[in-house]
Structure 1
Amino acid sequence: MARIMIVDDSTVMRMNLKKILTDVGHTIVAEAQNGKEACAQYEKYRPDLVTMDISMPVMTGVEATKAIVSKFPDAVIVMISALNQKKMVYDALKNGAKHYIIKPIDQEKVISVLNEVLRTDVST
Structure 2
Amino acid sequence: MAKIMVVDDAAFMRQMLKHILENAGHEVLCEAADGAEAVEKYRAFRPDLVTMDITMPEMEGIEALQRIRRDDPDAKVIMCTAMGQQRLIVQAIQNGARDFIVKPFQTGRVLEAVSKVMVSF
TM-score interval, smaller chain: over 0.9
Deviations 1:60-98 (A, max 9, x none): 000000110011000000000011211111111111110
Q: Which residue of 1 aligns with 2:42?
A: 42
RMSD: 0.6
* Cα distance between partner residues in 1 of 2:38 and 2:21: 18
Q: Report the TM-score, using the length of structure 1 for normalisation.
A: 0.96
Q: Which residue of 2 aligns with 1:100?
A: 100
Note the C-alpha offset of 1:107: 0.7
Q: Give the number of equivalent residue pairs.
A: 121
Identity percentage over the alignment? 43
* Cα distance between partner residues in 2 of 1:26 and 1:102: 20
The aligned runs of 1:73-92 (5 Å cut-off) are 73-92=73-92
For structure 1, which segment, 80-89 or 69-78, has the greater mean C-alpha deviation from structure 2 after superposition?
Answer: 80-89
Partner SS for 1:79? strand
* Cα distance between partner residues in 2 of 1:106 and 1:84: 17
* Cα distance between partner residues in 2 of 1:103 and 1:19: 15
Partner SS for 2:51? strand
Runs ≥4 residues deviating over 2 A:
none
- Counterpart AA for 2:78: V
The aligned runs of 1:1-124 (5 Å cut-off) are 1-121=1-121
Partner SS for 2:42? helix
Note the C-alpha offset of 1:49: 0.2
Could you list the runs of 5+ residues in structure 2 that have no partner in the other structure?
Answer: none
Q: Report the TM-score, using the length of structure 2 for normalisation.
A: 0.98
